[in-house]
Structures are given as C-alpha cells and as structure tokens.
Structure 1
Amino acid sequence: MQIFENDHIQLIEDQSIVYIELKKEGFTLKDFDRILKKNPRIKLTSFASLRKALNGEPGERVEIGSWLPPIEIVVSRDRMLATMYINDDPAKIFNDEEMMNKQIREIAENVGVKFGIHTLTLDDVKSGKPVTVASGLPPKSGQDAKVNYLEIPDRKPQILSDGRADYFDMNFIFEIEQDAWLGEKIPAQPGTPGKNVLGEVILATDGKDVALNYDSASIYEQEEDGKLVIKAKNGGVLENKNGKLSIHKHIQVKNDVGVETGNLTFDGSITISGTVVAGYSIVASGDISIEDVEGVTGAKLIESKFGDVYIRGGIFGNSETVVRAGGNIYVKHTNDSTLHALKDIFIDSYSLGSNLKAQNVYVNEQNGKIIGGYVEATHSIHTAISGNRLERKTALVITLPDRKDSAKVIIDKQDKIIHLEKEIADLDAKVFPVKPFLEKLNEIQRQTYDDTVEKIHQKETELKQLEREVDEIVQQIRNMGDEKISITKEAFPGTYIQIGKKSTTLTKVTCGDFLLENGELNV
C-alpha cells in the first residue's frame, strides 16, 4: 500500500513495515518531518536508515519504520491499566459512540483485557491523547485487630489551683469485681481480593493480629458478638505492668492493724481503713493503702515487696518506723522515719529528721520542706525549702553508680536469675503432671505437692526481686548525666549538698538547681 508520494520520494507499507524509495535527490530531513506530522501512523524506527536512504541512490527501497494500527491498546506492566493510543485523526476513526465502544472492546479483548473496561464518550477520544479504557480493582487489605482495655486511673495526686499536690484523693487501689469486663479485641479482618484487567485475581493481605496481653492465671477470655472479651476470674486489684493486665488478691482491713489483727503478711494488696498501731507491721507483695487521715504513728514496718505504699496522712516514726516499697511511696509528711522506695518518693508537705532513699524524691516544690535527716537519690531531689534558720544539718545526696561495678553486679544478678529460672522450670516439671490427679493423692503425696508449689512461689518471688534490682541499676546508668538537686525557694546554711564525689555545705541562703557542670558543683 502506498502511503505517500511526491516528485522526490514515495512511502510504501507492506505487512505493517514502512519503506522509503528515493525518486530524486534533494529531499531533506526537515521535509520528511512534515510528512510524519501528517501521517501519525508512521512510527520511525531507524533514523540512520532514513538518512542513508535520502542520501543514497534513487530507486533503492529502504525499511525505515512500522505502520501503526489506527488504535492500539497497551496493558501496563502491573496489569492494572489498559491504555488506548490513537494513531490517526479520531474523527476519521470514530463517529458513532456505540460502534466506537464496541470496536474498543473488541480490540481490548484481543490483547487479553477482560475486566474493568470503561464506556467512553466521543469527547473522551477527540483529543487523540492516550485514554484509559480499562482499570483493575486493587485488593483491599483487611483491618488490623483493635484492642481496648479498661482504663486504670493514673496514680498521681491531683494538682490544686495553688500548685499544691492533693494526696487525699488518688484512687490508689483500683478494685474490680469477679467477671468484670477488662478489655476486648476486635479480630483482624480478612482482606478483599482484587482483579487486574486481564481478569486475574489479586490476593489481599489480611489485617495484622494484635494479642490481648493479660495474665491468664487471673483473667479469662471468651467470645462475645464476634469479639474476644477478657474478664476477671476473681475480684481483686487490677494492675497494668508493662502493658500486661493482671489481677492481684486484695484484702480490706476495716479498722486498724494492731492487737486484733496482729502483724499482717499478705500475697496481694492491702487497704487499711484505719492505721497501723505502734509496734505493728504489715508486709504485702502488692500495693498498701493506709486511709486514716491521721496517718501512722510508731509503726514498726510497712513494706510492699513489688508495689506502691500510700499513706493518706503522715508518718510520726519516733525513729522506729520503716517504710519500704518495690515501687513508689506517697505520704503527706514524714517525721523521724526511714523511707526506701525502689522507684520514687512523693511527699506533700515536709520531711523532718527522716532518712529517705529513692531514684527521685519529690517534696512539694511550692512550699514543701526537708528539714534535717538524710535524703539519698540516684537521679534527683526536689523541694521548696531545705534546712531551717537554725541551720539544722540537712543532707541532700545524689549517688552516681560506677559503670564497671554496676556491670559486674548486673552480670552476677543475671546469673542468679538464670539459675532460678532453671530451678523453677524443674519444679514445674514435677508438679504439672500431678495437677489432674490431686484428689487421688494420699496425705504424704499431697503434702509433698504443696511443699513443691510453695517452693516455686518463693523462688518466683526471689526472681521478681532480682529482676527489679537489675532494672533499677540499668535505669540509673541510663539516667546518668542529668542529675540535679532542685530547691525552688530557700536552701538554708547547714544544707549539705553532694552529687557523685563532689560536695559542699551551704554557708548562706540560696536556691536554684544544683548540678555538675564540667565535673564540678555549680555552687
């Protein structure tokens, strides 16, 4: 088929190949470019061959390109789009919309397009620009699982308008009842498959699962209305430690701990509506809350192995009372007492002649006072006033751990942890097979079983304590470098300040943040 002819050249199509034949010299590349613009179906594939032909001998036929169909449909590499390229004047190809769509569909099907073919209008194609004629349906990923937990109130004092911390309304013990709702999970949803323009199914990604994190010994799981719901096996105190929910046993002492109760030791949390009478002790694995607004006078020992201690009133220790906590200590005031918290100590009013030890010690920075005694922290000490006008000696000390010594201690404790974990696993292996047959055991066998369970419990308690001690040392090392003693109003003469190995005793009234700058105290 002849495409074009003039006095100089003729263009011939044969089996979709375009040839040029020179008839007379003098036809330029610029002249040929005008022909290409008028004949968009010509696709030049060899510019070098064209140049050679125009400069060659007349009569020679040379292949220079290909003859495009009036309509081309090309499928994208990802098979999600089919695009139509119009290689001629659209008005010559299309004049009836219905016939146009039928023609496009036939061409699309010939190249394998089976899905998502669009219906076009004449206006869609009149510009001659590429037009999308089919679109695939992308797969839709499933929704991820969603987890919601019962919100536990923050264990923080309410800050009043004058800046004081109100320690009298803390919701310290968060108690729940048996079968109470604790959380739920909406399971991950399956994805919706897609399909490409060739009709091939594209698999979808299912939503990601998220685990409900809880202690299976105290919390159970059941399905309700397509959700996984967790509930309390028994009533007790709900705690969230490192994102894991658990319920601990809880007892309530309606009156005082004293003659009627004797000393109390309990594996769980204790709430005391009254006080702890002088000379008596309470030890619990969980939190301890003493609600009497008058506080505690002369109690011997108040100790929470792994939880917090909250004393709504103050402590009059008479140089006898010791309060220890595996977590934090919250108290209104303390007189002549010893307080040791593995985490922080919070005091609302004052500390008088007491020995305090924690990571951080916070005495109300609006008007709190530390007068006399010895306060030791590993990170920071905060108060409004230290010492008094009588220049009573008041020691505020920040201890800095030695990295090498700390590393040795950590290694030693980790070795003990590994040893304990092995011992617990060995003991578990002895009792686990026996559990289904407890009712069939004789008296001696049952006693052996109970003794072994008690050993496991003791070793688990020891393991928890070691792990907490390691965490404390690691936290101290991480926090090294920003230690400070903050006294917002008055630091009286007689106040002894020490950070690491650097120390001084104040000789005049001052205030501010005391810290190490270039290895020296900024006093």
Structure 2
Amino acid sequence: MEAIGKYKLEIKISQDKLEAAIMVVVADEVAGSSIEVTEQDVRAALREHKITHGILESVVRDLCMSPAKFIGNPVTIAVGTPPMPGVDGRIEYTFYEINQEDKRPKELDDGRVDFYSITSIPNVVKGQLLARRTPPTPGQPGTSVTGEPIVPIPGKEAVFKPGKNVVVNAERTSLYAAIDGQVSFTENEKVNVFPVFEVNGDVDFSIGNIDFVGTVVIRGNIPTGFRIKASGDIRVLGSVEGAELEAGGSVEIKSGIVAQDKGHVIAGNDVRTSFIQNGNVTAGNQVLVSQSIMFSQVRAGKQIICNGPRGIIIGGTLQAGERIEARVIGNTSATPTVLEVGVKPELRQELAEVNRELQVVYENLRKTDQGLGVLNHMLQVNGELSPDKKAMQIKLTNTRLILEKEGKQLETRKKEVEAELEGDSPASIDVYYTMYPGIKMVFGKLVRFIKQEFPRTRFLVVNGEITTATLL
C-alpha cells in the first residue's frame, strides 16, 4: 500500500492474477474533496506491486480526476489476458458417414423416423483406414497483470479403443482393419472388424443354434426356441419369435419381435426394431423402436426411444438410465405400465437380487438360531451334550458366524446400491402426444402415479420432486 500525503493507494491482486483493484484509503478526519491524486502517484503504486500488463488507462485518469469515488471502493485498474484452453483431441471414423456423437435416428421429409439409416454395418477390406486421431491443441498462454505468463489447460487426448481384428499404427494416429469383414462397436465404444456368417432364409433345424465369433446376418425369420449368439452384431431381415439373441455389438430386427414371453434379446450396444410384443429386451446403450412396445420388459443403459409414426408404449416395465421417449404411453383402459429412469437398470436388478439373498440369509439365521436354542435347552436340562449333539452345536455356531458375515456384506452392498438409486441423475420421460392414466413413474426412488391425461409433456426431477414441462 503506497502512502501519498494524507491518503494511501491500496492495491489488491486476485488469486489468479488476472485482475488488480485499486482503492483510496484516508484517515477519518480527511475530507475526500481535499484529496489530490496524481498520475505519478498511481504509476508508482502500480510499479510497487509490479503491475505492468492490462492497465486500464481510463481508470487511471478517472482516479486522478475524481479520487473521492475511490475512497473505500476498490475499482479494477488492470485486467490480465486469460489463457485459452486447448481443444480436445478427437477420433474421426472414416468408414462411417454418420456422426458418432449423434446416433439419433433421422427424421424423413414426411415426418416419419428412419431407424434403419443408422443401423447399416459398413463393409471394410483388410488394410482399410477405419479411423484417424486428431491430437489436442496445447492452448494459448495468458498473461497476468504482473506480466507473468499463465499456462493454459491443454486439450484432452483422444484415445483409440481397438477391439478385435483392428491394428493401430506405430504413431497411434490411425486405426486399420486387419481382415475383411464388417465393423461393429461393442462395449465402451470399442471398434471391431468381424467376419460375417449369413443365413439366406429362416433359421430352422437344418441350421440349428448359432454361436459365431463375428457378425451374424439372418435373411429370414428366427422361430421360437433357437439361440443366436454373436461377438459382433446380429441383423435379422425378418422377425424374431421367442428365440434367444445375444450380441456383443448391436441387434437389428427389421420386422419386429413377437416373443410370447419367451426368449430374450440382449445387445452390448443398441437394439433397433419395428416393434416389441411380449418380449424381453436389454441393450447396453439404446433401444430404438419405430412402431410400438407392448407388454414387454425393456431395459436400456441410456435411452428407450419409441417415437415413430405410431410410437406407442402399452403395458410391461421399461427401464432406462437417461430417458424414455414415445408419442403415446398407455391407453384409455389405463393398462398398468411401469416406466423407470434415472439409474442404470442393472442397479435395480442388483438391488432386487440383494434383497432376495438377504431374505435367504435371514431365514437360514432363524433356522440356525432355532437349532442352537434346542441344543442349549438340552444342555441346561442334561448338564452335557452327547458327542453328536456337541458336533452339531459347533457346526451350527460356525454356520451362524458365516451367515452373519454374509448378511453384513449384503447389507453394506444394499446401502451402496440404494445410495446410487437416490442420485440426481439427469433423466426424463417424454411423451409427444398423450400419456394416459395407469402409468407408474419411477425416478431413482421417487414414484409418481399418473391419474389423468397429459398431452405433450416432459416429466423430470426438479428440487427433489417429479415435475412436468410442456413440450413444444
């Protein structure tokens, strides 16, 4: 703080050194109107604090002309140049025309939604470039008010996620196919090239079950009872009945699923189909349905989207980590339908499994305590136990210790899962035409029952409550 006659110029520099403020400090007996501040005084105070960069000359002049305005009132007199952060690196997929960051289905000119425009699995040849990596930029350094350079935050490095049958060059800037085949994204966006197994028609007993380390293409239907397993994607140009389909990548079923509560469809990435009726479908990422989901169990790590020309959901239980979206949900008969969002479906399944295991442990503890009670009563009456009864007592005591330990572990995990269920995950349920009564909504641990019709509404959690907003 510089003392100038009967006043002082006090300067404070911000912690990030990007701003300096000046203030006039005077004694109580000094009148502000009697103070005279010269430019030389101000420059001397700035030099004392080594302020050389970003000085606001207009503030210097104002301070000299009207010092009373600065008494006890700090005013910014210098502003540094903030650093410009670097741009994150990115991965450009050269085999895919669609943007990997926007996998939403495209809307056609007539308003219909084309769910199949994003499901094509590109064919590639050995040695073909699959992806190139753009490095991050270091950013531009800034300058503090004291003239010192401020180091910028560099951009984050983009990292290839190579899967099966792909190679990365020595510089790790390019990703290539190691074989001829079709590209498939599996868990955590790994890029794979898989060979293709094709069935030119329906799956029948002449073909049997399929377990293939690659991509499977069925050019017909899959009847009830058959099992198709693929490391890559499964594409079915016909329909699927009560069969079991499991893919490390995505599953595309062009003509829909009519499962009659049999079988299941499981995909590490996406499931795309026309409709699901009495089915059991699980996707690590998204479930995309163009027509309807009827009386089915559907789970998606991120989104369930049923927003085609019909886009209707009736009955069953749907669980999505982020969002459920449809044109119509429920019907005029108030058919019970459960929609759960906000946490990954596997958490709910795990909680249910933990509760089942706890019930078993508690029941076994009850039986063990009952047995020990009988033996203790015999000991009190007879004064001792026969060798076989004593051995049983030791066995039951050890069993009880094991059950207690198992119960404590399950209780701990139950609390952890319940805590995750209470998390404020950004989630919503969107209905673009009408939601009918009979719907049970679950956001984490919050529950709401729909008892009236809602047109064009988004349901989401605000301040710990399930609220609504009108969709335009």
CA shift in 2, pair 1:384/1:285, >3 Å = same
Q: Which residue does the alignment assign to 2:331?
A: 388
Q: Which residue does the alignment assign to 1:520?
A: 465
Alpha-carbon distance in structure 2 between the residues aligned to 1:501 and 1:243: 30
Contact 1:322–1:338 at 8 Å: present in 2 too?
yes
SS across alignment from 1:372:
strand
Task: Using the TM superposition, give the Cα deviation of residue 167 of structure 1 relative to its aligned residue in structure 2, in angstroms.
Answer: 2.6
Task: Using the TM superposition, give the Cα deviation of residue 490 of structure 1 relative to its aligned residue in structure 2, in angstroms.
Answer: 0.8
Is it true that 1:497 corresponds to 2:441 in the alignment? yes
CA shift in 2, pair 1:479/1:355, >3 Å = same
Is it true that 1:300 corresponds to 2:243 in the alignment? yes
Task: Using the TM superposition, give the Cα deviation of residue 185 of structure 1 relative to its aligned residue in structure 2, in angstroms.
Answer: 9.3
| Residues 110-153 of structure 1: CA deviation (Å, up to 9, x unaligned) | xxxxxxxxxxxxxxxxxxxxxxxxxxxxxxxxxxxx99763324
* Cα RMSD after superposing both structures: 3.9
Alpha-carbon distance in structure 1 between the residues aligned to 2:174 and 2:445: 54
Greater C-alpha radius of gyration: 1
Alpha-carbon distance in structure 2 between the residues aligned to 1:507 and 1:243: 41
Q: Which residue does the alignment assign to 1:280?
A: 226
Alpha-carbon distance in structure 2 between the residues aligned to 1:317 and 1:405: 24
Alpha-carbon distance in structure 1 between the residues aligned to 2:285 and 2:425: 18
CA shift in 2, pair 1:211/1:255, >3 Å = same
Is it true that 1:332 corresponds to 2:274 in the alignment? yes
AA aligned opposite 1:393: P
Percent identical pairs in the alignment equals 23
The one of 250, 255, 261 equivalent to 1:313 is 255
Task: Using the TM superposition, give the Cα deviation of residue 335 of structure 1 relative to its aligned residue in structure 2, in angstroms.
Answer: 0.6
| Structure 2 unaligned regions, length at least 5 | 1-89, 135-156, 352-416
Alpha-carbon distance in structure 1 between the residues aligned to 2:290 and 2:202: 23
| Residues 71-102 of structure 1: CA deviation (Å, up to 9, x unaligned) | xxxxxxxxxxxxxxxxxxxxxxxxxxxxxxxx
Contact 1:365–1:488 at 8 Å: present in 2 too?
no
| Residues 405-450 of structure 1: CA deviation (Å, up to 9, x unaligned) | 99x9xxxxxxxxxxxxxxxxxxxxxxxxxxxxxxxxxxxxxxxxxx
Is it true that 1:371 corresponds to 2:318 in the alignment? no
AA aligned opposite 2:451: T
Contact 2:218–2:236 at 8 Å: present in 1 too?
yes
The one of 194, 208, 224 equivalent to 1:262 is 208
Task: Using the TM superposition, give the Cα deviation of residue 325 of structure 1 relative to its aligned residue in structure 2, in angstroms.
Answer: 1.0
Alpha-carbon distance in structure 2 between the residues aligned to 1:222 and 1:399: 40
SS across alignment from 1:373:
strand
Contact 2:323–2:341 at 8 Å: present in 1 too?
yes
SS across alignment from 2:321:
strand
Q: Which residue does the alignment assign to 1:248?
A: 194
The one of 142, 158, 165 equivalent to 1:218 is 165
CA shift in 2, pair 1:220/1:317, >3 Å = closer
Contact 1:365–1:382 at 8 Å: present in 2 too?
no
Alpha-carbon distance in structure 1 between the residues aligned to 2:200 and 2:229: 17
Alpha-carbon distance in structure 1 between the residues aligned to 2:348 and 2:244: 31
Task: Using the TM superposition, give the Cα deviation of residue 477 of structure 1 relative to its aligned residue in structure 2, in angstroms.
Answer: 9.0
Q: How does 1:12-411 map onto structure 2 within 5 Å?
A: 150-154=94-98, 157-182=105-130, 213=160, 215=162, 218-219=165-166, 232-239=177-184, 245-292=191-238, 295-296=239-240, 298-304=241-247, 306-359=248-301, 360-364=303-307, 367-400=310-343
| Structure 1 unaligned regions, length at least 5 | 1-145, 187-209, 409-472
Alpha-carbon distance in structure 1 between the residues aligned to 2:92 and 2:447: 50
Q: Which residue does the alignment assign to 2:414?
A: none
Task: Using the TM superposition, give the Cα deviation of residue 500 of structure 1 relative to its aligned residue in structure 2, in angstroms.
Answer: 2.1
CA shift in 2, pair 1:269/1:319, >3 Å = same
Contact 2:163–2:191 at 8 Å: present in 1 too?
no
Contact 1:268–1:286 at 8 Å: present in 2 too?
yes
Task: Using the TM superposition, give the Cα deviation of residue 330 of structure 1 relative to its aligned residue in structure 2, in angstroms.
Answer: 0.6
Contact 1:253–1:272 at 8 Å: present in 2 too?
yes
Contact 1:331–1:346 at 8 Å: present in 2 too?
yes
Alpha-carbon distance in structure 2 between the residues aligned to 1:176 and 1:282: 24
CA shift in 2, pair 1:165/1:491, >3 Å = same
| Residues 296-345 of structure 1: CA deviation (Å, up to 9, x unaligned) | 2x2321111x2111111111111113111111111111111011112111
Alpha-carbon distance in structure 2 between the residues aligned to 1:378 and 1:229: 33
AA aligned opposite 1:395: V
CA shift in 2, pair 1:277/1:481, >3 Å = closer
Task: Using the TM superposition, give the Cα deviation of residue 183 of structure 1 relative to its aligned residue in structure 2, in angstroms.
Answer: 6.1
SS across alignment from 1:237:
strand
Alpha-carbon distance in structure 1 between the residues aligned to 2:343 and 2:91: 41
Alpha-carbon distance in structure 2 between the residues aligned to 1:318 and 1:326: 23
Alpha-carbon distance in structure 2 between the residues aligned to 1:494 and 1:153: 42
Contact 2:202–2:220 at 8 Å: present in 1 too?
yes
Task: Using the TM superposition, give the Cα deviation of residue 182 of structure 1 relative to its aligned residue in structure 2, in angstroms.
Answer: 4.2
User: How high is the TM-score relative to the length of structure 1?
Assistant: 0.47
Task: Using the TM superposition, give the Cα deviation of residue 517 of structure 1 relative to its aligned residue in structure 2, in angstroms.
Answer: 2.3
Task: Using the TM superposition, give the Cα deviation of residue 493 of structure 1 relative to its aligned residue in structure 2, in angstroms.
Answer: 1.3
Is it true that 1:488 corresponds to 2:432 in the alignment? yes
| Residues 10-32 of structure 1: CA deviation (Å, up to 9, x unaligned) | xxxxxxxxxxxxxxxxxxxxxxx
User: How high is the TM-score relative to the length of structure 2?
Assistant: 0.52
**Residues paired across the two proteins, number:** 283
